[in-house]
Amino acid sequence: MTDAPLNRPPVTAAILVIGDEILSGRTKDKNIGYIAEYLTNIGIELRQVRVVPDSLDEIVSAVNALRSRYTYVFTTGGIGPTHDDITADSVAAAFGVPINVDPRAVAMLSERFPPDQLNEARMRMARIPEGGELIANSVSKAPGFIIANVIVMAGVPAIMQAMLDVVGPTLKTGTRILSDTVRAGLREGDIGTALGEIAQAHPQVAIGSYPFWSETGPDTNVVVRSRDPEKLDQAMAAVKQMIEHERARLRR
C-alpha cells in the first residue's frame, strides 16, 4: 500500500463492542487491540471505543452517534444464533431499514450445515438488514455485513479476524502515523515540564510519556508520533537532547 499525501484528511474509525458479557467482566475483550493495530498499520486512525450492553436502544444510540462522526464504525459481538444476539436488528433499526433472511447468507451457511441442521437458531445468523453487503466468514461461514459505513463483525476473535481480513483491503485509507520510542532512564516527573515545552514547539507531532517499572526502578518511555517523517525526526531529536540534559543535571 502506498501512503497517502500528507495533506489528505485523516480516515477515522470507532469500535463499538457489544455484549453484556464484556461489561460484566465474564469475557475479556481481545478484539480492540487487534483492530486498533490493524487500522494503524493501514492508515486509519482509531478515535474512539465504546462498550454497550445487549440493549437495542443502547446499540442504536451508539451506532448513530458514531457513524455520523467517523469514517468507519466497526462493531463486534451480538451476531450469533441466540436470543440475546440483537446486533443485526439494532443496526437495522439505527438505519431505519427492514431486516430479513438473506438468501446469500443462507447459501453461505449451507456450506457448513446440511438443510436439516439449519434450524431456527442458526437461521437468525442469516438475517441481514436491507442494503447490507455480506462479509465472508471462512471460519464458521455465518457472515458479517456492511451497511453504509458500519462494519458488523463477530465477537469471537478468530472469526472477527477472518472478517477483518476480508474487509481491510476494501477500506479507504489515509497516511500512516509513524512512531518512534526512546527509553528515558528517568522518572516521568523528571521530564514532564521539558517534554511539555517540546510538545508546544512541535504542534504537528503527538508526544506521549508512559511510565513503567524496570529492573532498575521507575522509568519512562517517550513516544513520538507523526504522519510527517521529517517532523517526527525533528521532535525525536529534541526529546533525546532533552533527556540527555536532564540526566546530566540530575547526576550533578
Task: Provide the pLDDT confidence category of residue 192 given band limits of 50, 70 and 90.
Answer: very high
Predicted confidence (pLDDT) per residue in 128-184, tens digit: 999 999 999 999 999 999 999 999 999 999 999 999 999 999 999 988 889 999 999
The three grid cell numbers given for residue 175, joined into one nine-digit string = 497516511
- Residue bearing the bigger pLDDT, 32 or 215: 32
Q: Residue range 74-91: average pLDDT? A: 97
- What percent of the chain lies above the pLDDT cut of 90? 90
Task: Provide the pLDDT confidence category of residue 251 given band limits of 50, 70 and 90.
Answer: confident
The three grid cell numbers given for residue 166, joined into one nine-digit string = 476480508
The three grid cell numbers given for residue 215, joined into one nine-digit string = 529492573
What gap in Å lies between CA 53 and CA 33, rounded to an integer? Answer: 20
The three grid cell numbers given for residue 196, joined into one nine-digit string = 511539555
Whether the CB-CB separation of 151 and 70 falls below 8 Å is answered with no
Q: State residue 4's pLDDT score.
A: 45
Query: Given a cut of 50, is residue 1 above it in pLDDT?
Result: no
What gap in Å lies between CA 105 and CA 132, rounded to an integer? Answer: 11
- Choose among 116, 164, 170: nearest CA to 138: 164
Tell me the C-alpha to C-alpha distance, in Å, between residue 1 and each of 7, 85, 172, 176: 17, 36, 11, 10
Number of residues in the chain: 252
Q: For 85, which DSSP code? A: -
Whether the CB-CB separation of 44 and 174 falls below 8 Å is answered with yes
Q: What is the mean pLDDT of the chain?
A: 94
Whether the CB-CB separation of 184 and 219 falls below 8 Å is answered with yes
The three grid cell numbers given for residue 209, joined into one nine-digit string = 510519556
Predicted confidence (pLDDT) per residue in 97-139, tens digit: 999 999 999 999 999 999 999 999 999 999 999 999 999 999 9
Query: Given a cut of 50, is residue 2 above it in pLDDT?
Result: no
Give the max Cα distance, the chain.
80
> Which residues, 6+ apart, have CB-to-CB distance to 168 below 8 Å?
38, 42
The three grid cell numbers given for residue 104, joined into one nine-digit string = 446469500
How big, in percent rounded to 5, are the helix, strand and coil portions of the chain? 40, 25, 35
Whether the CB-CB separation of 182 and 242 falls below 8 Å is answered with no
Counting DSSP H helices and E strands in the chain, the numbers are 9, 11
> Which residues, 6+ apart, have CB-to-CB distance to 34 below 8 Å?
157, 160, 161, 164
The whole-angstrom distance between residue 85's C-alpha and the CA centroid of its chain comes to 21
